[in-house]
Amino acid sequence: MIKALGNNIIIKPNPFEEKPLGSSIIRPQSSEQRQPVRRGIVVSVGTEYKGNNDLKVEDEVIFLYKGPPTKWGEYLVVKEDFVLGILEKWQ
């Protein structure tokens, strides 16, 4: 078991996603720098997460893979600002 600290979020990336999703995010400061968007499952949310408790363990999220990432085994550690959204299940 791994526990996120601070405002970090630990994500298990989608193993079937060999490359980033088709779209990219362009940062406003520079049109030259593109950061790929990835998908994954939240494993742990740090205690200093500032969201409205809307992000929970086992949520599927899209996030910026701003590299080089901090890796621990098969997990990625990202700051809360790099989580772009929660994918909701179709009903």
Rounded-to-10 torsion of CA 48, 54, 60, 65: -40
Residue 9 has which token pair? 């979020």
Residue 87 has which token pair? 């994918």
pTM metric for this prediction:
0.72
Those residues with Cβ within 8 angstroms of residue 63's Cβ, 6 or more apart along the chain or in another chain = 9, 11, 37, 38, 39, 40, 78, 82, 83, 84
Position 73 scores a pLDDT of: 67
Residue 26 has which token pair? 């362009």
Task: Name the one residue in this structure whose structure tokens are 């992000």.
Answer: 55
> What are the φ/ψ torsions at residue 81 (nearest 5 degrees)?
-65, -20
Please name the amino acid found at residue 19: K
Residue-level pLDDT, tens digit, the chain, 91 residues: 789 999 899 999 886 654 545 555 444 454 445 567 889 999 999 988 887 678 899 999 999 876 655 555 688 888 888 999 999 877 6
